[in-house]
Each structure stands twice: as C-alpha cells, then as structure tokens.
Structure 1
Amino acid sequence: MVDSKSGRRRRSSSLLIYKEPPESPEQLSDQEALPNLNAEWVNAKGAWVIHFILIILAKIIFDAVPGMSQETSWTLTNISYMAGSYIMFHYVQGTPFEFNSGAFDNLNLWEQIDRGDQYTPTKKFLLFVPIFLFLLSTHYTHYDLAYFTINCLAVIAVVIPKLPSAHRLRIALFSGLPEDRP
C-alpha cells in the first residue's frame, strides 16, 4: 500500500482489528427489499437437527479410526465442529447469490441471521451447541488438562465472535488495511 501524501509505502501490521462501519441507506434498502436466502435456512424446519447429526457422524467417523482413544475422538469431534462452525458463520462474508446487489457483502453469516438481532432463539441455539459439545467432550476426556486446554481454546474461538461486543468486529492476520479503509 502506498501513502498518497508522502509517496512512501505503508507498513502492514500482522494483526489488524477494526469495526465494520454501518450500512449506508442504499445498502439497508437493498437488505430489506428481498429475503436473504443465505440466512433464512437457519430458521427452517430441521436446520437445528443437522448440527447434532453432523456431531454424531463426526464422532462415528473418528471412532472408526483404529487405535484412536475415546479422549482423542471426542477432542477431534469438538475441533471439527468448531472449525466448521467458525468458517461457516464467522469467516466467510457475503452471500453466494447475486440478486441482492451486494447488500450483504460486508457481513458474515452470523451478522445476517435474523437481520442482525442478538439473542433470538436461533442465535441462542447456535451459541448453545458449541458450549454443550465442549462440556460433553470435556466430560468424556475425563477432565485431562491437555484435552481440556485444546477443547477450551476451540470453544472460545467460536463463542467470542457470537457475542454482541464482537458484532461487526473484524480481526485480520498478516494483512494491511482493507482497500476501502483510509
């Protein structure tokens, strides 16, 4: 990035934390014009059940690996769910659909669910599942410190972005400022 005033190249930081600005009136009108198909599925019938099905399926797959202990199997199940949940709800931004004129391009799926309202039944459920899985995996790892630490870090990485204080907060590693920032 080149600073236009001095002509010098700006240093990029290894960690950048910034708050996403609110939408413009045009973006707000685009967001309200059509239903957001990217976020509506989480309120659909059966959408909550799929989380438990995926957890059970991951546990069965990890149990099928020869020589794997129950503690490792539970920890891998926890990490797998947490990684998938983080990528799906907090990492990917925008929508895969082009019908909304880019109205949701700067929002991740968590911020799109229920039009950004906090503590709706769906968001409470999606906050409950990682915590429940953490407690379950901690119990079945017999409270071993190493497994507990790994499981705890995984749940923290998924729960913190769901909190209201992290709404529209972005953390970028090893990158400069986004292109539209001063």
Structure 2
Amino acid sequence: MALKYSVSNPNETWINSNGFILFYFFAILVVHLVLLSFPFLSTESVWTLTNTVHSLVNFLLLHWYKGAPFVTMDQESDSKTQWEQLTANNELDIYKRFLIAAPIIVFFIAVAYTHYNSVHFLINLAFLALAVIPKIPGLYGVRLFGINRY
C-alpha cells in the first residue's frame, strides 16, 4: 500500500510510526502513577485528574496549537491544527480512530474507579467532551466564536 501522505509535511506521518499506541498508553500510565504518588489524593481524585490531564493535553496538542513542529515545505500547515493536518485526506485509519477512542476509554475507566460519583462523572464528562467533540468531522476547520482563528 502506497503512502497517502504528503512528503512535504512530516507532521502527517508521525502517528503511523511503530510504537505510537504503546507510547500513548505508557504516557497515560506515567501521569497516573505520578498522580498516585501524592498521598493526599484519593484514588477517585487521581482517576479524575488522570482523565482531566489527558483530555487537556489531547486538546492542546491536537486541537489548539497550529503549525508544525518540523520545518515543512508547505505553508498551508501553519494555519491548521495537528488534527486538521492528520485528517486532511478525510480518511480515518486505525491510528486516528485510536486518538478518538483513547479519551473515551480513559473516561470509562475513570468513571468506573470513581464509583459513578455524580461530581466526578460530570467533571470527567466535561473533559471527555473537550477531547472528543473537536474530532467530529463536521467541525474540521471550524473556529467557534472566532477563538484561535489566527
């Protein structure tokens, strides 16, 4: 199968690298273990914080920051977020589907470990929305209320 990505923008290909999914889960595990090391936090709070940190980092790195961390040949990537660059060809391969499913998986784990407490549930749900709603195909290139337009 031939690569369907532009060679001029390496920002589109890093997700397909070997070990990406393993690294992603390892990063979540490290954040969770660091939060567990604080003795004043309960297990429920740690899982809610794990979901919160995961969703915030996911939102910032994929949906807020624009441009490419690499020098690219095309200037078009300077005005696109990482998610817009990844989904420019409108195909959702296994890695992009993983980026959609991962926040949902972390949400379900956090809700289960918080014993379905309503306060924790609402906090986890709000941060799940922050991580998943921008990935909806209908919101490709949309800037709500003009925020992050430039």
TM-score over 0.5 for the alignment? yes
1:83-94 aligned at under 5 Å gives the runs 83-94=56-67
1:23-42 aligned at under 5 Å gives the runs 32=6, 34-42=7-15
Confirm or deny: 8 A CA contact 1:38 1:109 kept in the other structure. yes
User: Per-residue deviation at 1:123?
Assistant: 1.2
What is the match of residue 50 of structure 1? 23
Following the alignment from structure 1 to structure 2, what is the Cα–Cα distance between the partners of residues 118 and 163? Answer: 13
Q: Which has the higher strand share?
A: 1
Identity fraction in percent: 29
What is the match of residue 53 of structure 2? 80
User: Per-residue deviation at 1:51?
Assistant: 1.3
- What is the CA RMSD across the aligned residues, in angstroms? 2.0
User: Per-residue deviation at 1:96?
Assistant: 2.4
1:97-176 aligned at under 5 Å gives the runs 97-172=70-145
Confirm or deny: 8 A CA contact 1:110 1:116 kept in the other structure. no
From the CA coordinates, give the structure whose radius of gyration is larger. Answer: 1
Confirm or deny: 8 A CA contact 1:114 1:120 kept in the other structure. no
Which consecutive unaligned segments of at least 5 residues does structure 1 have?
A: 1-30
Deviations 1:40-99 (A, max 9, x none): 111100111111101111111111001210000000001011101111100011112333
TM-score by length of 2: 0.88
Q: Which has the higher helix share?
A: 2
Deviations 1:101-145 (A, max 9, x none): 412111111111153424221111110100000000000000000
Is structure 2 residue 10 aligned with structure 1 residue 61? no
Say which SS state the counterpart of residue 41 (structure 2) adopts: coil
> How many residues are paired up?
146
AA aligned to 1:74 is: W
Following the alignment from structure 1 to structure 2, what is the Cα–Cα distance between the partners of residues 171 and 125? Answer: 25
Tell which has more relative contact order, 1 or 2 (C-alpha 8 A, sep 6+): 1
Which consecutive unaligned segments of at least 5 residues does structure 2 have?
A: none
Runs of 4+ aligned residues of structure 1 deviating over 6 Å after TM superposition are none
TM-score by length of 1: 0.74
